[in-house]
Structure 1
Amino acid sequence: MGRSPVMRISQGQLNLLDLCPRQFQHVYLDQLAAPPNPDQQENLDWGSQFHLLMQQRELGLPIAALTPADPDLQRCVWEFVEAAPDVFAPNSDQQRQSEHRRSLLFQGYLLTVVYDLLVQQPDKAEILDWKTYGKPKQPQWLAQHWQTRLYPFVLAETSDYEPEQITMTYWFVRATPPGASTPQPQRLAFPYSQAAHEQTRQDLSERLQRLSLWLERYDQGEPFPRQQDLRNDCALCGPGIRCWGDSQSTASPSLPLPDLSAIAEIPLDS
């Protein structure tokens, strides 16, 4: 089975590999993922529009004329600007890059990241990411998410910054419904470190070695392992659609939409 000699790997793919290698196969190799449902699509469209507005604002383009049709979007944009003046008040020491893409060749794979905003100063760098859903109830869970780990790893490996000079910051920007007790927007920052960098290097190496083995076996007709093969349980796809393609399965090849790297705003479950 022919395949590009260099496979791009994103944080979304790494998360899906950890969640269920078989679903990684279904989505990225077999192309069996179902389209988002209407509610998902509406949230994705809203998130895409918000990201576009932030990019246009960073470029110095006017955005006021683009938001009146969606009062919720307009409110979120201006509440975010007011709540985070340091984010939107660049100084002469900063180099700022919106929707900045970086890649790192690592163990035969091209690790690829896209930063919503990268703010670089002589002695530090901050990676900022806009999230258009509520802040997770368990921030420590987010600390282990591959976006939080891969984004600073790639920056440290492709720049002169030491890991301790890098911070990964999330802004949860969706306006809180009226009467809610927790205001929006909210910020979560994760300082990076040399220890975290080396742990990420080790974990990436292990996962990519396994992926190489699974790809080799897949080319010989063997499917990727299932979640229940690895953890003796499976609650990912639900009854009736587990591991489509197995001889014991009678389900159709329609899978729930996973956290694809190309879709930035599917919520991270807490």
Structure 2
Amino acid sequence: MKAEIDSPILTRLSQGQLNILENCPRKFQHIYFEQLGTPVSPQQQEHLTWGSRFHLVMQQRELGLPIESLVKEDSQLQQWVTALVNAAPDIFTKNWETFREAEHCRTLNVAGYLLTVVYDLLIEDETNAQILDWKTYPQPKKSQWLAQDWQTRLYLYVLAETTDYLPEQISMTYWFVKSQPSPQKLTFTYDSVKHEKTRQDLSELLSRLTMWLERYNYDSIPFPQIPVSTNRCLDCSFAVRCQRLVESGMKGNRNVLINLADIEEVSI
């Protein structure tokens, strides 16, 4: 008999979970209900560890705490922190008239789900609010991909819903710290039209989640799979479990390690 899930895991939903849910509901089931992990190569694990250290250094720096002990044995880490500060002096110049906070967490209750965001750095003044996010993977070739990612959409949406700022007064900037020859940025502005579109898409996605969850709990019906024709199963670590290797006629070993850009960064 299937143990009924009272949804403690789903009470809180992050952008990473929304991305997986939208891209493949069955994968969402495997990870968050069945607690199945996805393989990470040693190289990817090293990258994740370095990214966590970079975020910690940036948080410590913003708090005015010493960072020497964190960077003394990693000259590259010090190099990238310095490069980022030099590339964006305006956002690192503190002004007593602004509110600033690193690792700023906000939550928003929507349809019974607690949507949670953590901003690497939030800067607010009387007229504008900026969300800053540090990325330690290469800048994507198409900015449209990042514009549609739930991190961008959810981060902007939650800030607009939980403050008095109009959508037009809010922006989000990603800084790709390892870009050459210096860190590069992508800034996404916001407006009321985008805000309403996100509201509608979020409502539809959460409604489907509620339906799939009820069917899974009470009728043991698995979350739906995406069509084989999408070709997303080729590099998925659950392809065998979902019997997609057979359905797709795939032969030989495939690379089923996760993509770094799909990993949700862990808050400090």
2:197 is paired with a residue whose SS is helix
Question: Aligned partners of 2:170, 2:237: CA distance in 1, in Å?
Answer: 45
The one of 239, 245, 266 aligned to 1:242: 239
CA distance in 2, matches of 1:197, 1:7: 23
User: 1:240 and 1:92, CA in 2 relative to 1: closer, same or farther beyond 3 A?
Assistant: closer
Counterparts of 1:81 and 1:12, CA distance in 2: 27
Equivalence for 1:143: 147
Q: Render the CA deviation track for 1:22-68: whole Å, top value 9, x for unaligned.
A: 10110111111134221111000000000000000000012133213
1:268 alignment partner in structure 2: none
Higher helix share: 2
Q: 1 CA distance for matches of 2:138 and 2:81? A: 15
Percent identity for Structure 1 against Structure 2? 53
Post-superposition Cα deviations, 1:170-213, rounded to whole Å, max 9, x if no partner, equal: 1111253xxxxxx2200110011000000000000010011111
Determine whether 1:38 maps to 2:42. yes
Does the alignment pair 1:221 with 2:224?
no
Aligned to 2:102: 98
Report the counterpart of residue 27 of structure 1 in structure 2.
31
What SS class does the counterpart of residue 195 from structure 1 fall into? helix
TM-score by length of 1: 0.86
Provide runs of 4+ in structure 1 moved above 4 Å. Answer: 245-249, 255-258
**C-alpha distance in 1, partners of 2:216/2:257?**
22
Amino acid aligned to 1:158: T
Rounded to whole Å, the distance in 1 between the matches of 2:12 and 2:236 is 31
Which string of whole-angstrom CA distances, capped at 9 and with x for unpartnered residues, describes residues 50-92 of structure 1? 0000000000012133213112111101111111101110112
2:122 equivalent to 1:123: no
Indicate if the aligned counterparts of 1:131 and 1:170 stay in contact, CA closer than 8 A: yes
Contact 1:33–1:256 under 8 Å retained in 2: no
- Structure 1: distance between partners of 2:179 and 2:97: 31
The runs of 5 or more residues in structure 2 that have no matched partner are: 247-255
Number of residue-to-residue matches in the alignment: 252
> Matches of 1:227 and 1:43 in 2, distance apart?
30
Using the alignment, how far apart are the partners of 1:221 and 1:97 within structure 2?
44
Gaps of 5+ in 1: 177-182, 250-254, 265-270
Aligned AA for 1:226? Answer: Q
Change (3 A) 1:243 1:195: farther
Report the aligned-residue RMSD: 2.3
Match of 1:65 in 2: 69
Counterpart secondary structure, 1:227 = coil
Q: 1:146 to 1:239 in 2, by over 3 A?
A: closer
Contact preservation (8 Å) 2:237, 2:257: no
> 1:257: Cα distance to partner?
4.2
CA contact 2:41–2:257 (8 Å) conserved in 1: no
**Shift of the alpha carbon at 1:262?**
5.1
